């Protein structure tokens, strides 16, 4: 099976979402196992994208700002023409075209029909919730106020696009939870279960020869060398559970009678602001996230809803213990381990798990021998299940069955 990865206007970079997912695949193919080049081709390797340039005038910027919300909605119903030289590509050289956003499939579908593409279409949304809901949640206050008017129609449109795919790939079945809580998505899933396929994600193993010195990182962010470091990297919004993290942080720091616990937080401080406490360090966007995670004693992943967060795999890669909410794609980690104490993965349910349970985990992790076991087993779990070579074998094996 020959696969075309349709990454039109999706930048391939080391980040979250489809960009990071595709970055890991491309880096692995280009630098570690070029045998896959015969089977997997990126659209960006065949053509040059020429997105239309935006005017920098003040009037144009004001117009774009004022009309942004309605333009985003219109795109779902009147997708823009693709500015690509598709006449130079025979799409039927490929058995599979894999789309990595629902909107990408929406924009390209008419082109595929014009080209009489007779292969299979695979869609991966990468969104931690219905893509149209995620879009509206990013709207201005006025747009969010009109959400009740928009959302049902947009859900119907999103389902129509799903119906155009032959297969819809999710990393794990639990990642469907943020979708199937809505009846329209649940009904689609129930009616077309044969369309849904699953392939757990993987990421590159950095294989650094040098170990990260926690003391250097702690000095960099301005905390004592003997501190217990808890980290989080990601968006500061409700779906990512940042409000949950703040509440946990407040309770943990109140119980920290020795004043040894510090929080280091990466990512843009918006829309939810920091916890106002001297032991809570907001770092903003950082280029040393792997080193920060490796230097941490615990990483908290507080998602209220989640797809299959790449940051969880990055944490396992370093061996750092992780405390995650038992929701969505996070549940997969619990399903593949016999005991949460066999590995350094711990689970909690917001508003149910007591702070005493979490404080007990933090206390256990201050035992060097227990910490060493957690780190070793987390790394083993990563190498066994989520290293990129394991993912590529899963992915190509699954595609070859379609």
Q: Where are the domains of the chain?
A: 3-203+390-399, 214-386
Q: How far apart, in Å, do the first and last CA atoms of the chain sit? A: 9
Domains 3-203+390-399 and 214-386 belong to one CATH topology: yes
The closest alpha carbon to 386, from 153, 150, 225, 203, belongs to 203
Whole-angstrom distance, CA of residue 30 vs CA of residue 336: 30
Query: Residue 73 pLDDT > 90, yes or no?
Result: no
Whole-angstrom distance, CA of residue 238 vs CA of residue 244: 8
Q: With bands split at pLDDT 50, 70 and 90, how would you rate the model's confidence at 59?
A: low
Query: Residue 339 pLDDT > 80, yes or no?
Result: no
**How many Å separate Cα 24 from the centre of its chain?**
13
CB 332 within 8 A of CB 307: no
Whole-angstrom distance, CA of residue 290 vs CA of residue 296: 10
CATH topology of domain 3-203+390-399: Rossmann fold (3.40.50)
- Give the mean model confidence (pLDDT) for residues 272-276: 95
Q: How far is CA 24 from CA 16, 31, 141, 181, 337, in A?
A: 11, 11, 36, 30, 25
CATH code for the domain defined by 214-386: 3.40.50.2000
Query: Residue 117 pLDDT > 70, yes or no?
Result: yes
Query: Residue 377 pLDDT > 60, yes or no?
Result: yes
The continuous run of DSSP H or E covering 298 comes out as strand 298-301
CB atoms within 10 A of CB 194: 8
Query: Residue 148 pLDDT > 80, yes or no?
Result: no
pLDDT in tens, 212-225: 899 999 999 999 99
358-368 burial code (b ≥16 CB/10 A, e <16)? beebbeebeee
**pLDDT for position 260:** 96
Q: What is the 3-state secondary structure (H, E, C) of 243-295?
A: HHHHHHHHHHHHHCCCCCEEEEEECCCCECCCCCCCCEEEEECCCCHHHHHHH
Mean pLDDT, the chain, as a whole number? Answer: 89
Q: With bands split at pLDDT 50, 70 and 90, how would you rate the model's confidence at 239?
A: confident
Q: With bands split at pLDDT 50, 70 and 90, how would you rate the model's confidence at 169?
A: very high
pLDDT in tens, 3-28: 999 998 899 998 888 999 999 999 99
Q: With bands split at pLDDT 50, 70 and 90, how would you rate the model's confidence at 47?
A: confident
Q: How far is CA 47 from CA 79, 85, 112, 124, 274, in A?
A: 20, 7, 16, 22, 43
CB atoms within 10 A of CB 272: 15
Q: How far is CA 357 from CA 245, 249, 323, 337, in A?
A: 15, 14, 11, 20
CB 178 within 8 A of CB 112: no
DSSP state of 51: P
């Amino acid at each position: 099976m020959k696969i075309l990865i349709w990454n039109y206007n999706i930048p391939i970079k080391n980040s979250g979402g489809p960009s990071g997912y595709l970055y890991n695949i491309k880096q692995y193919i280009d630098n570690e196992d070029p045998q896959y080049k015969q089977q997997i081709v990126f659209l960006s390797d065949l053509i040059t994208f020429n997105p239309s340039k935006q005017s920098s005038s003040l009037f144009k910027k004001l117009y774009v700002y004022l009309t942004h919300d309605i333009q985003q909605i219109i795109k779902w119903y009147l997708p823009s023409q693709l500015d690509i030289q598709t006449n130079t590509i025979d799409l039927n050289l490929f058995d599979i075209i894999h789309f990595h956003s629902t909107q990408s499939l929406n924009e390209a579908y008419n082109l595929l029909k014009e080209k009489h593409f007779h292969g299979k279409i695979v869609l991966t949304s990468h969104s931690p919730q219905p893509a149209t809901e995620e879009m509206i949640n990013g709207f201005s206050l006025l747009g969010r106020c009109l959400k009740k008017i928009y959302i049902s129609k947009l859900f119907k449109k999103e389902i129509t696009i799903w119906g155009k795919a032959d297969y819809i790939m999710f990393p794990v079945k639990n990642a469907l939870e943020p979708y199937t809580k809505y009846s329209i998505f649940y009904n689609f899933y129930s009616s077309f279960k044969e369309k849904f396929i699953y392939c757990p994600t993987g990421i590159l193993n950095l294989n650094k020869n040098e170990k990260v010195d926690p003391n250097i990182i702690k000095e960099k962010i301005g905390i004592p060398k003997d501190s217990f470091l808890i980290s989080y990297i990601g968006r500061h919004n409700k779906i990512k559970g940042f409000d949950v993290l703040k509440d946990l942080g407040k309770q943990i720091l109140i119980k920290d009678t020795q004043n040894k616990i510090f929080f280091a937080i990466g990512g843009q401080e918006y829309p939810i602001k920091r916890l106002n406490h001297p032991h809570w360090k907001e770092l903003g966007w950082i280029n040393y996230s792997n080193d920060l995670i490796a230097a941490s004693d615990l990483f908290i992943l507080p998602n209220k809803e989640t797809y299959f967060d790449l940051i969880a795999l990055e944490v396992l890669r370093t061996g750092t213990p992780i405390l995650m909410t038992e929701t969505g794609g996070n549940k997969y980690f619990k399903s593949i381990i016999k005991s949460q104490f066999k590995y350094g993965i711990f689970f909690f349910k917001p508003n149910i798990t007591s702070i005493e349970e979490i404080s007990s985990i933090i206390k256990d992790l201050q035992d060097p021998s227990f910490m060493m076991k957690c780190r070793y087993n987390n790394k083993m779990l990563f190498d066994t299940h989520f290293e990129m070579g394991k993912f590529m074998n899963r992915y190509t094996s699954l595609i070859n069955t379609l």
